[in-house]
Amino acid sequence: MQHFKTLSSYLDYLGLPRPEHPMLSVFNSKGEGYLPCPRESSPPITNDCYSISFKKYVEGNLNYGRTKYDFTNGALIFIAPRQVLQWDSSVVFEQKGFSINFHEDFLKGTELAQRIKKYGFFSYSTNEALHLSPKEEKQMESIVENIGIEYQNNHDAFSKEIIISHLDTLLKYANRFYERQFLNRKELSNDLLEKFNKQIATYLESGQLQQKGIPSIEQIADEMSVSQRYLSDTLKKETGKTTTEHLHLHLIDEAKNILLQPNKSISEVAYELGFEYPPYFSRLFKKKEGISPSEYREKYKLN
């Protein structure tokens, strides 16, 4: 897999103009008419840059994973360093919008260097884009225009600080709009929770728990064809519980049934549920139920 260490080499590969700054490039159709058109397709590649791109699609289904979105406005896509990128020519975009690319070293020594890693939307890869309303588009375009003005000016001692300040503002607005997007898509969130619960139930019923142990969240997300981060964020915002907490609820519920079988020890129950260490199972059970597995058995045993 080809990897690009510099911004210039990555832009050369895309067929885009060389950047004005060795670690930052800004393309904005508002001032230039149209965005440069990158290569139509690419095999898997990686690079050391962040990308924030906004384009409107014209034809073809804009899919992320297996999820189709009902938004018809612009899609804002975030890409983090070393994410695997691959695309083909099936989706046609308007060549209007903006694209900001910057090397991760551009942020070194700034507070944003750490803060940017906490934004979940950089981790969704191909599973979730931010879809903007016309009003939100204007807000973002205004910030990008300010970045572009500073980018085109002769750079001085203040240029980098000003650009990073605008980038910080842009990401804060993006975070706000993502919150809106999650809140406005309750139906999708509920459907995701239902699929998650069904996936766990299928795993438990198939006997894989005893054979392979407790499934990882990444494994469950892969089976659902969504990213781990997207699954975790959506369930957390919708239910207030993390994916791990939901998984634990299923395991505890299963444990209650097994505990009422008097011929099995607590350790045997733990192993049957996929726990390698019975004390961990006992601690988790007590944390969730307020009593130990032994106390639960004694309290609810059949007379």
- How confident is the model over 250-297, as pLDDT tens digits? 899 888 888 888 788 999 999 989 888 899 999 999 998 899 999 988
Task: Name the band, by pLDDT with cuts 50, 70 and 90, for residue 66.
Answer: very low
- Asked whether residue 173 falls in the same domain as residue 42, the answer is yes
d(CA 245, CA 238): 13
Where among 142, 168, 184 does a domain terminate?
184
CA-to-CA separations, 43 to 48, 52, 84, 107, 279, in angstroms, rounded: 17, 20, 10, 28, 48
Where among 143, 168, 184 does a domain terminate?
184
- Asked whether residue 175 falls in the same domain as residue 193, the answer is no
- Asked whether residue 150 falls in the same domain as residue 213, the answer is no
- Asked whether residue 9 falls in the same domain as residue 128, the answer is yes
63 or 102, greater pLDDT: 102
Q: What one-character DSSP code corresponds to residue 69? A: P
Checking if the pLDDT of 58 tops 50, the result is: no
Where among 168, 184, 200 does a domain terminate?
184
- Asked whether residue 160 falls in the same domain as residue 205, the answer is no
Helix segments in the chain, DSSP class H: 7-14, 29-32, 112-115, 134-152, 159-183, 186-205, 208-212, 217-224, 228-239, 243-259, 266-272, 278-289, 293-300
What are the residues whose beta carbons fall under 8 Å from the beta carbon of 240, sequence distance 6 or more?
A: none
Beta bridge partners of 51: 79, 101
pTM of the entire predicted model? 0.60
pLDDT the model gives residue 153: 87
- Asked whether residue 167 falls in the same domain as residue 218, the answer is no
pLDDT the model gives residue 73: 53
- Asked whether residue 38 falls in the same domain as residue 104, the answer is yes
Share of the chain above pLDDT 70, in %: 82
- Asked whether residue 208 falls in the same domain as residue 289, the answer is yes
d(CA 128, CA 122): 10
CA-to-CA separations, 240 to 44, 50, 116, 231, 270, in angstroms, rounded: 36, 30, 24, 13, 27
133 or 104, greater pLDDT: 104
Look at the chain and report how many structural domains it folds into: 2
d(CA 256, CA 297): 8
Q: What one-character DSSP code corresponds to residue 165? A: H
Residue 262 lies in domain:
187-300
- Asked whether residue 11 falls in the same domain as residue 126, the answer is yes
- Asked whether residue 294 falls in the same domain as residue 175, the answer is no
Closest CA to 51 of 20, 29, 80, 91: 80
pLDDT tens per residue, range 231-246? 888 788 777 888 999 9
CA angle 17, 18, 21 (to 5 degrees): 135
CA-to-CA separations, 250 to 81, 254, 262, 287, in angstroms, rounded: 36, 6, 21, 14
60 or 84, greater pLDDT: 84
- Asked whether residue 50 falls in the same domain as residue 145, the answer is yes
Checking if the pLDDT of 68 tops 70, the result is: no
- Asked whether residue 164 falls in the same domain as residue 57, the answer is yes
CA angle 95, 101, 105 (to 5 degrees): 175
pLDDT tens per residue, range 180-226? 776 655 555 567 788 888 899 888 888 888 788 899 998 998 888 88
Average pLDDT, the chain: 82
